[in-house]
Chain A
């Protein structure tokens, strides 16, 4: 797609996304504002995972750990009396980043299927640690007494939360776009294609991968912080391995390594669940069929039908 056309298209989509809640309000379908927020949050989470998998070439199967941690940090701080998002969200990012540095520094000593297994193992460790903690509410999770406050904005209002999420998603997409064309991003492109050659050229391969892993994981933590606010709950299911799997499915469905792969995947998967869920109890069966069709007819994911891989 030509650059100018793409920018026009992106601007139109962004505009549509901005006015969407106003239209929904006018139609009296306020419920769908929450649903749209949920889509955006998962789009952000899937995008962050796509950065690790598609740009960094690391198939991480433990993204739920960071997604869930972001949510739990916000919930913990709420219990401790810290309601301001200006404090809680950066702390959530900091904690997720720290966890990602530790998990990444150990996991990145392995590769391929071992990397998949070790990231999964770490995520499950965090899951079981959290559900065994009384203060974390065990199996029930940790409810939020209210949403974070983001003065001067009123996050208690669904539309404001939607716009906040949309801004953060757009900012992250924009930043990742810049990164992918920077020196760092080009080095990742080299790494994805031939690690041996990168090493032989003298690149600090381990550090490059670690930074990529930490950046992606931390954005995953931001998505978690948002989801805790949206759900009013930090739930253990966010940390569970099926959540990691679902995020991976979104990425693969949308297009590994495509700029909008995570967004397209998240919206498609959650959208299908919602729509099919109205007609049948067996919606997952039909979603499976759709996934199969995509795997067969567009193995690069939906985004590969249009866009160019980064």
Chain B
């Protein structure tokens, strides 16, 4: 296995609170890596730090051999790190197709610059076809023409995943992709994420432990801003400290 992402002693504080207090994490290429931990353990902060939404106070981020600690968000996207958000971030007044097409258009190294002012984007058929393919991938092909504000919450979450995939990330950061979903929608999303195994490297923050244990190749347990341990699901599940620190009542 090749290490795709490594964080070394990563730190970030908000006032007196060290949300990340020396995080050492390594994500292997091609795996689905889940991040679990109690509320306030620093999971979302870590996603912010890796994606470039926030800058670390100390420590290092190494992606595919490059030090990316000081790069801003769109430089990291260009290198292949794309994230989704806990609260859905889409373009509500655009069609699903246009939402994804904008994500496709964002790949400037392939399509060329977005600073093109004359030719209608609707005449760039190959871009639109690709957007349709991504929508099909998440099961939204039928709804392509609808405005994003008019579809269900679950469909919007799937749309956000399609948009993230359309940037062709090498590392996909998913922050609670099942948040607010019913059991059926969650299963659909889990199947989608599972279908990415081997194709994309995924770092997943998720509260639903059943799904996490089923989906993840490896799990890291985050407690109080540090990684308690990283291992395969069966070992994490059995680990006494994890049971005490996090699973607590849920397993007992």
Contact = CB atoms under 8 A, between A and B. Distances in A.
Interface of A: 178-179, 181-187, 189-190, 193-194, 196-205, 207-208, 211
Contact of B94 (A182, A189, A202, A207): A189
Interface in B17-75: 51, 53, 73-74
Interface stretch (B101-109, B138-146, B236-244): B101-109
A194 B114 contact: no
B232 interface: no
B102 to A, nearest CB: 5
B85 A196 contact: yes
B92 to A, nearest CB: 6
Given A189-B91, A190-B94, A194-B91, A201 B77 contact: yes
A310 to B, nearest CB: 11
10 contacts: A179-B118, A181-B121, A184-B117, A185-B121, A186-B101, A186-B121, A187-B105, A189-B98, A202-B78, A202-B107
Nearest to B173: A200
Contacts, number: 93
Contacts of B101: 186
Contact of A193 (B53, B94, B116): B94
Given A183-B121, A202-B78, A197 B91 contact: yes
B85 A184 contact: no
Give the 10 A-B residue pairs with the shortest CB-CB distance, closest first. Answer: A202-B77, A201-B106, A197-B89, A181-B120, A193-B91, A183-B116, A202-B74, A187-B114, A186-B121, A190-B102
A189 B94 CA distance: 8
A200 B91 contact: no
Contact of B116 (A184, A194, A199, A200): A184
Interface in B86-143: 89-94, 98, 101-103, 105-108, 113-122, 124
B205 interface: no
Interface of B: 51, 53, 73-74, 77-78, 82-83, 85, 89-94, 98, 101-103, 105-108, 113-122, 124, 163, 167
Nearest to B76: A202
Contact of A186 (B73, B85, B105, B118): B105
A209 to B, nearest CB: 12
Given A178-B118, A202-B106, A211-B115, A197 B74 contact: no
Contacts of A205: 74
A182 B94 CA distance: 15
Contacts of B163: 197, 201
Given A181-B121, A202-B167, A193 B106 contact: no
Nearest to A215: B117
A13 to B, nearest CB: 23
A184 B112 CA distance: 12
A204 B116 CA distance: 14
Contacts of A199: 73-74
Nearest to A201: B106
A307 to B, nearest CB: 15
A300 to B, nearest CB: 13
B117 to A, nearest CB: 5
B89 A196 contact: yes
A189 B93 CA distance: 9
Given A184-B115, A202-B167, A194 B105 contact: no
Nearest to B84: A200
Nearest to A211: B115
B156 to A, nearest CB: 12
Contacts of B167: 201-202
Contact of B89 (A183, A200, A207, A211): A200
A152 B34 CA distance: 72
Contacts of A182: 116-121
A10 B105 CA distance: 32
Given A182-B118, A201-B77, A201-B102, 13 more contacts: A179-B117, A181-B121, A183-B119, A183-B124, A184-B114, A185-B121, A187-B102, A190-B102, A194-B89, A196-B89, A198-B102, A202-B74, A204-B114
Contacts of A208: 114-115
Contacts of B82: 200-202
